[in-house]
Structure 1
Amino acid sequence: MSNWFQEHPIFTIIGHTALVATTTIVFTTFVLDENKINFYKAQSESATAQINNEKAVAEQYKAKISVLESDITALRSDNERYLKWLGQDPKSFPSLEQEIKNLNAKLKDAALASIAKSSNDSKSNTSPITSPAEASPLPYQFSSEFLRGSSFVDPKTRATIGVSDISPKFTATGVLSIPGKGNLDLSGVKPGSSWSFSENGINYKLTLEGVNWINNTLKASVVEMPASK
């Protein structure tokens, strides 16, 4: 009876089927695991390549900015040297401009002297004649450019803007110091931003007029505001 079980073909078929099924399961599991590994490996390599590409682009932009800053510095140096040379030439525009300013100053002094003399010689009881500049002085104003890492300081009111960083969106980060308000931190300040303050009973407005990320320059101004009635 035992020989019948051992020699019967059905047991051979069952054993063969079990062996094939086991082999198939093992092979399928191995192939699927290997495919998963290859898939995740491909994703990792793709992400690494993208990061490296972005780093390369960032380095290119840094190099371009560095070159632009160097060119701007060289141009400024050349411009200052040329202006100095032109200022020494009597027929150049800077020299002529300075000569015109000197002549205007002399004419103004002569006009004031003439008015003062006429006032002294007059025997009428009218009030002394004053020049338009004395009657209604022009409002105070001061503007200047400055670089990132430096400050704009108004010589009259001592209002100050110090900028430590400029973003590619042309906004500034730094510190503002105005009379009566102390120091104020600035973050993401756009060109055209302004702050009002008073000094010695006079109202002023401090304005950030320009922010240039390309050459790291800024411009600010302080203007005297008309007194409120």
Structure 2
Amino acid sequence: MPSWFQEHPAFSIISHTIVVATATWLVSSFVIDENKVNLYKAKAESAESRAEQFNAKISILESDLANLKSENDRYLTWLTSDPKTVPAMEKRIKELEGSLASAALNKVSEHHEGSDQPLVKPKYYEFSKSFMKGETFVDPKTNAVIGISNISIDNTARGTLYIPGSETIELQNVGPGATWKFDKNGVKYQMTVEGVNWLNNTLKASVTEVDKE
């Protein structure tokens, strides 16, 4: 007795074709999806490897920069200790200029109105210095201090600030151009963040004497 499949050969062929095509599609889709997963995984691993190399390079550069700065500071200390060297003479010249500025300021304050003697405009005090993250900037005249604990990729810094007559200030997202005014012994000064560099973890700050308002 013939079977149902024998009596309907066309349907059997079509059904078989559909089953084979479906199985082929499923296998192909699985292989393609697995290849995609492997590709994405390989890309992610490659990106992670590059990031690790980038971080390692930054760490090495920071270490080299710190070592160079340490050596430079040591050599500068040696040079300034010898009064015959150029750095020592430059330091002495700045000290003398500061003394002359103070003397000129005192002379101007003593000058009475109506005098026909010309007024001498004093040279205002100014001190600036570059420093690294983790270090502090200390103004030798006013003792104003900036300490930086972190520098962000957008060239902003986080740390603390102390200026005479004020409590310690917590700094958040401070960028170049940030200023704070303060008084010390009747003289007005301005603390300024002149530069922030995330790439080499350095900053520059200054304290300058300003006119009384």
Check whether the contact 1:211–1:217 (CA below 8 A) recurs between aligned residues: yes
Residues 9-45 of structure 1 deviation map (CA, whole Å, 9 limit, x = unaligned): 997341x223222222222221222222222222222
Question: Are 2:177 and 1:192 aligned?
Answer: yes
Question: Are 2:64 and 1:71 aligned?
Answer: yes
Give me the whole-angstrom Cα distance separating, in 2, the residues matched to 1:96 and 1:197.
31
1:132 equivalent in structure 2: 104
Question: Are 2:201 and 1:216 aligned?
Answer: yes
Give me the whole-angstrom Cα distance separating, in 2, the residues matched to 1:220 and 1:162.
11
Q: Are the structure 2 counterparts of residues 11 and 227 from structure 1 closer, same or farther at C-alpha, using a change threshold of 3 Å?
A: closer
Residues 174-210 of structure 1 deviation map (CA, whole Å, 9 limit, x = unaligned): 34455557634412x3222223345676543221112
Give me the whole-angstrom Cα distance separating, in 2, the residues matched to 1:87 and 1:181.
34
Question: Are 2:199 and 1:227 aligned?
Answer: no
CA deviation after TM superposition for structure 1 residue 226, in Å: 0.9
Find the structure with the greater CA-based Rg.
Answer: 1
Q: Which runs of 5+ in 2 are unaligned?
A: 109-121
Q: How does 1:144-163 map to 2 (within 5 A)?
A: 144-154=129-139, 159-163=144-148
* Aligned AA (1:214): L
Q: Are the structure 2 counterparts of residues 80 and 176 from structure 1 closer, same or farther at C-alpha, using a change threshold of 3 Å?
A: closer
Q: How does 1:14-163 map to 2 (within 5 A)?
A: 14=8, 16-83=9-76, 86=79, 92-94=85-87, 97=90, 101=93, 132-136=104-108, 138-154=123-139, 159-163=144-148
Q: Are the structure 2 counterparts of residues 147 and 96 from structure 1 closer, same or farther at C-alpha, using a change threshold of 3 Å?
A: closer
Q: Are the structure 2 counterparts of residues 79 and 206 from structure 1 closer, same or farther at C-alpha, using a change threshold of 3 Å?
A: closer
* Aligned AA (1:30): A
Check whether the contact 2:5–2:12 (CA below 8 A) recurs between aligned residues: no
Give me the whole-angstrom Cα distance separating, in 2, the residues matched to 1:205 and 1:194.
7
Give me the whole-angstrom Cα distance separating, in 2, the residues matched to 1:160 and 1:217.
16
RMSD value over aligned CA atoms?
Answer: 3.7
Give me the whole-angstrom Cα distance separating, in 2, the residues matched to 1:83 and 1:182.
31
Q: Tell me the TM-score normalized by structure 1.
A: 0.65
2:169 equivalent in structure 1: 183
For these two proteins, the number of residue pairs brought into alignment is 195
**Equivalent position SS for 1:215:** coil
Residues 139-194 of structure 1 deviation map (CA, whole Å, 9 limit, x = unaligned): 4433333321233344565544332211334322334455557634412x322222
**Residue 170 of structure 1: which of 149, 155, 161 is its match?**
155
Give me the whole-angstrom Cα distance separating, in 2, the residues matched to 1:90 and 1:225.
32
Residues 105-137 of structure 1 deviation map (CA, whole Å, 9 limit, x = unaligned): 5xx89xxxxxxxxxxxxxxxxxxxxx6342245
Percent identical = 39
Q: Are the structure 2 counterparts of residues 161 and 215 from structure 1 closer, same or farther at C-alpha, using a change threshold of 3 Å?
A: same
Give me the whole-angstrom Cα distance separating, in 2, the residues matched to 1:175 and 1:72.
23
1:120 equivalent in structure 2: none
1:12 equivalent in structure 2: 6
Q: Are the structure 2 counterparts of residues 152 and 47 from structure 1 closer, same or farther at C-alpha, using a change threshold of 3 Å?
A: same
* Aligned AA (2:26): D
Q: Tell me the TM-score normalized by structure 2.
A: 0.69
Q: Are the structure 2 counterparts of residues 221 and 214 from structure 1 closer, same or farther at C-alpha, using a change threshold of 3 Å?
A: same
